[in-house]
Amino acid sequence: MSSYEKVTDEIRSIAEKLLKEEEVEKIIGFGKGLFSDEVTPIFVSRLKDVDRLIFSPQASMSLAKYLLNYKEQKVAIVAKPCDSRAIASYLSEDMIKRENVKIIGINGCPGIEDNSACQECDIRNPVIADYTVGEEMSEEEIQAEIEDFEDEIEKMSPAERMEYFRKEFERCTRCYACREACYVCYCEQCFTESNQPDWVGESVKLNDNFTYHLMRSMHMAGRCVNCGACEMACPEGIDVRALAAKMVRAADEIFDYKAGLDPEQKTLLSEYDVNDREKGFMDE
């Protein structure tokens, strides 16, 4: 039995228990979609539907964002390690109440198919969970599986990098699928829809597309957990994650900061250290 099937069975038995004991009203999890391998988010509130819960290599979406729709209800959620970090961030940002959510964390996450973020992932066990399924991975096992990540974009000259991103963002149709998939993007009014100030034009001009992605990545700084949901959601196959992933690496290198490890943690840009490095300043 593959680890995905084992996880599926364990999720079902926990879900059944939670619904039977009426601990939660709803379980947010992955279910089978309309087409062969497709996976879709499902919301289970009846015992007979528990068997529709699955976990598979296609379970790419971050379910954490659905918690914001059920702030006042008691719900359980199936969380991959990256989703658990998203939930920890929500808790640290006071977006959800801890007592209202039961987290079914997936230990030793086997990864998602075609998600390039999974190859860089170094947090394979949930950071916060009430119930866990699967087998916990040790630090050595995790380190052994990380592929040596070499950033090809970093090696290019500024002009080549600009050219690379131009080619990518040229294809952007501004459908905002990346925004909808991202757990960070929960603002009630997004800067793209703001007209006072009018931050960025709504049309698909390259100049505005580029600006939109830069601005969104700036909002990611110190909050992105590098889950890759944006990239998986993009219908044009744009390397959406590149800029946000750079922010993740920069936060780690410069400020030794990783987002969403602890519900008590503040976000990178909402605190400071008097001795912060001034990397890139004129005098440094």
Q: Which residues between 252 and 271 bind other proteins (CB under 8 A)?
A: 254-255, 268-270
Q: Residue 117 interacts with other proteins (CB under 8 A)?
A: no
Q: Does 163 help bind other proteins (rule: CB under 8 A)?
A: yes
Other beta carbons less than 10 A from residue 236's beta carbon: 13
CB 88 within 8 A of CB 259: no
Q: Is 170 helix (H, G, I), strand (E, B) or coil?
A: helix
Q: Which residue from 66, 185, 246, 263 is in contact with other proteins, where contact means CB under 8 A? A: 246
What secondary structure does DSSP assign to 227-284, as a single string?
--HHHHH-TT---THHHHHHHHHHHHHHH---TTS-TTPPPGGG---TT---TT-TT-
Peptide bond into 197 cis (omega under 30): yes
Please work out the total of residues on this chain that contact other proteins, with binding judged by CB under 8 A. Answer: 46
Please choose, out of 30-38, 52-60, 73-81, 272-280, the segment that lies near other proteins by the rule CB under 8 A: 272-280
2 near other proteins (CB under 8 A): no
Please name the amino acid found at residue 33.
G
Q: Do 83 and 227 contact (CB within 8 A), yes or no?
A: yes
**Residues between 211 and 240 with contacts to other proteins, criterion CB under 8 A:** 211, 214-215, 217-218, 221-222
State in angstroms the smallest separation of the CB of 171 from other proteins: 13
* 149 lines the binding site for other proteins (CB under 8 A): no
Residue 210: CB minimum distance to other proteins, A: 3
Cα–Cα distance measured from residue 120 to residue 94, given in angstroms and rounded to the nearest whole number: 29
Whether the Cβ atoms of residue 57 and residue 4 lie closer than 8 Å to each other: yes
Of the two residues 97 and 166, which places its CB atom closer to other proteins in the complex? Answer: 166
202 binds other proteins (CB under 8 A): no
Helix ranges, 21-105 (H) = 81-92
Q: In terms of CB distance, is 124 or 219 closer to other proteins?
A: 219
Of the candidate spans 28-36, 42-50, 80-88, 275-283, the one that interacts with other proteins by CB under 8 A turns out to be 275-283
Binding site for other proteins (CB under 8 A): 153-154, 158-166, 191, 199-200, 205-208, 210-211, 214-215, 217-218, 221-222, 243, 246-247, 250-251, 254-255, 268-270, 272, 274, 276-283
